[in-house]
Amino acid sequence: MSAAMIAALFFTVALLVTTAYFIMGSIPLLVLRHDTPLDAGFVRGFFNIYYVAALITATATSISYAFAGRPALAAGAAALALMAGILRKKVIPTMDSLGAQIQSNGMDAIPGFRKTHLTAILINIVQFAAIVWSLSALSA
């Protein structure tokens, strides 16, 4: 097995662990009422850290698969990196805005914050499923 393929497998595992950790960590955060700035800030910070970690690991995965001569897996990982970047630019500002509204006693913002939180989790679950599927379907 080539060094590039070993690196690709390492980064794939890192991407899977990052994604699974986020799913397991973000779902219990739905228990929070999201009615205080502390709740909103914590959830926002958790998502921000995940998006940065996902961007880094997906980019490294894509590059390593490209060097290993696996263009389909490289493209898939690049798509995940792109998605992490886009979601970070969309979700984090939305959470910031809704968190500021919650802080100023805008209780109408709580359902929007919860919806954003849940939507981001669902997108992440789909991404995780796509990673697992691609490994099994494209591994030949």
pTM for the model stands at 0.90
Q: Which domain holds residue 79?
A: 3-137
Alpha-carbon dihedral of residues 33, 38, 44, 47, nearest 10 degrees? -80
How many domains is the chain partitioned into structurally? 1
60, amino acid identity: A
Of the CA atoms within 13 Å of residue 137, those in its CB half-sphere come to 9
Q: Where does residue 129 rank: exposed (0-12), middle (13-18), buried (19+ CB within 10 A)?
A: exposed
pLDDT tens for the 140 residues of the chain, in order: 889 999 999 999 999 999 999 999 999 988 887 777 788 889 999 999 999 999 999 999 999 999 999 999 999 999 999 999 999 999 999 999 998 888 887 778 889 999 999 999 999 999 999 999 988 876 65
